[in-house]
Amino acid sequence: MTISHGALKLAVCAVVGAVGLAACSQGSSSSNSVSSTSGGFGSVPAASGTAHAGTITWAEAPGTAPTWIFPVVPSAAGTVSSTNQFEFEMWRPLYWFTNGVQPIETPSMSMANEPVYSNGDKTVTIAMKTSYRWSDGQPVTSKDALFFLDEVKAGVKESGANWSQYTPHIGIPDQIVSATTPNPTTLVINLNKPVNPLWMTDNELQLIQPMPAHVWAKASANGPILDFTNPANAKKIFDFLTKASQSTGTYATNPLWQVVDGPYKLTVFNNTTGAFTMVPNPTYGGPHSAKVPTLQAVPYTSDTAEFNAVLAHSIDIGYMPQTDVPQLNAVKRAGYHVFGYPDWGFTFVNYNFADKTGDFNNIINQLYIRQALAHLEDEVGYVKALFHGAGGLAYGPVPAAPVSPYTPENAVKNPFPFSVSAAAGLLKSHGMTFEEAIRALQRANTKARLKPIPKAASAAPARTKSGGKRWLKAVGRFLHLGQKEQTAQAVR
């Protein structure tokens, strides 16, 4: 079973880091739940009223305070809250991925033109856009992109954990044989073997974040600018910038972090609570509104506290905890427009084919058993019962929602629709009844440390006939749906 689950957001006519706050009308709805099985609901309203800058406040969920500012982010700090919601506002990636709700590039927000592949897909040539400048007035050049690559290389040489996106021998930096800057707007990368251009651009090149080499390429606060292409110097620079990033109390005061190319500059950072304020960067060369607001992140110690702030209309942009989705009407009455959509991901059950407990390996190795189990997975029922309708459907590792060019045709529709009769037919065609299947699974489960499906997921089985209910109950002992993380997985 695979389910694409959603991270739900509440918005008041604003998009973080992109447009100014505009007046809007109160949302309305006659429903307290999400009725669509696509997992998406609501919409971001069109701007209206008189544009003005002002300040946008947005809610920081518990435990999401940024803990890192240097763009080479280690595994321990590799979170959305430290990257997408924090340092991406100050240092843009070379290629901007996500376009609305789709996991694809937004070319107008990328800092470079589309890469050109040559030499049998072993050479990548990147042309930087000339509209981007650092906040100190200096142009963003190909040398700044190369600086990032050399610092990543220096970091992972010390430890693979020094960059959260590192995979040994795959992509950046291990597959790079050489990288050069023939001129200020061109970066040429030579690879050790041919690559799939789509994969390379979407998964690797988008990770590159140009960094201000003319300010950061040094080994101490008052030291000289070093040649970062020298590996010994690159290590010294990496160690210096890493140490500076560990000093969270100086994020808003360290001159290093004031040189940015993104839409915002950090002016206030509370390293105890995670609260921070960002002001517009007037030299930002990417798309932006005529009136750019100040951003103020407001931390909350619990989801309950945040949701109460939403109901009290004391925050401009908030999020909706999954458990509070049934209160959609209350949120709209508070004056909010609500928009939610599934994340780009999926959850799944993974069978342990090597588990010999009770002959389980031989049972699950039978294709018809796995097909019968698949027919007994009521994804629509699970989404409705567990996620209050706020979840998308997925039939493989690439989900059907959000819509993307990567979803194969055979994963758009359910290949094994929920059907107790179909499951029964498969068993019968192999000479097995529900009762025999139950006994076999119970024997395999005698010593297994497995948990049942939560009671909330029993709505679908309750609609089936008696035999089906007994079969589903037995099957349920092999599955555990993690209610907090909204994931389904095999426990053993």
Backbone angles phi, psi at 131, to 5 degrees: -85, -10
Residue 450 lies in a domain: yes
pTM of the model: 0.81
Domain termination residue (choose one: 246, 272, 307): 246
Mean per-residue pLDDT of the chain: 82
pLDDT for 2 beyond 90: no
The pLDDT score that the predictor gives to residue 462 is 36
Instruction: Give the count of domains, the chain.
Output: 2
pLDDT in tens, 250-298: 999 999 999 999 999 999 999 999 999 999 999 999 998 888 899 999 9
Give the separation between CA 279 and CA 299, rounded to whole angstroms: 18
The pLDDT score that the predictor gives to residue 444 is 55
Residue 147 lies in a domain: yes
Question: In terms of domains, do 351 and 242 share one?
Answer: no
The pLDDT score that the predictor gives to residue 18 is 24
Residue 51 lies in a domain: no
Backbone angles phi, psi at 269, to 5 degrees: -145, 120
Residue 465 lies in a domain: yes
Domain hosting residue 433, numbered range: 347-377+416-489
pLDDT in tens, 408-456: 888 888 999 998 888 888 888 988 876 777 666 666 554 433 333 333 3
Give me the torsion for CA of 450, 454, 457, 460, rounded to 10°: 60
Highest mean pLDDT among 243-252, 283-292, 318-327: 243-252
Query: Of 7-21, 32-46, 112-126, 145-159, where does mean pLDDT reach its minimum?
Result: 7-21
pLDDT for 65 beyond 90: yes
Query: Of 13-27, 189-203, 292-306, where does mean pLDDT reach its minimum?
Result: 13-27
Question: In terms of domains, do 232 and 353 share one?
Answer: no
More confident residue, 291 or 136: 136
The pLDDT score that the predictor gives to residue 117 is 98
b/e sequence 231-259, b meaning 16+ C-beta within 10 Å: eebbbbbbebbbebbeebebbbeeebbbb
Domain termination residue (choose one: 211, 229, 246): 246
Residue 138 lies in a domain: yes
Residue 8 lies in a domain: no
The pLDDT score that the predictor gives to residue 38 is 64
CATH of the domain at 227: 3.90.76.10
Domain termination residue (choose one: 226, 246, 266): 246
Mean pLDDT of 237-241: 98
pLDDT for 120 beyond 70: yes
Q: Which residues have C-beta within 8 Å of that of residue 29, sequence separation ≥ 6? A: 328, 329, 332
Question: In terms of domains, do 355 and 464 share one?
Answer: yes
Residue 439 lies in a domain: yes
Q: Provide the pLDDT confidence category of residue 405 given band limits of 50, 70 and 90.
A: confident
pLDDT in tens, 194-220: 999 999 999 999 999 999 999 999 999
Q: State the angle between helix axes of 420-429 and 466-476 in degrees (0 to 180), rounded to the nearest 10.
A: 80
Residue 174 lies in a domain: yes
Question: In terms of domains, do 110 and 228 share one?
Answer: yes
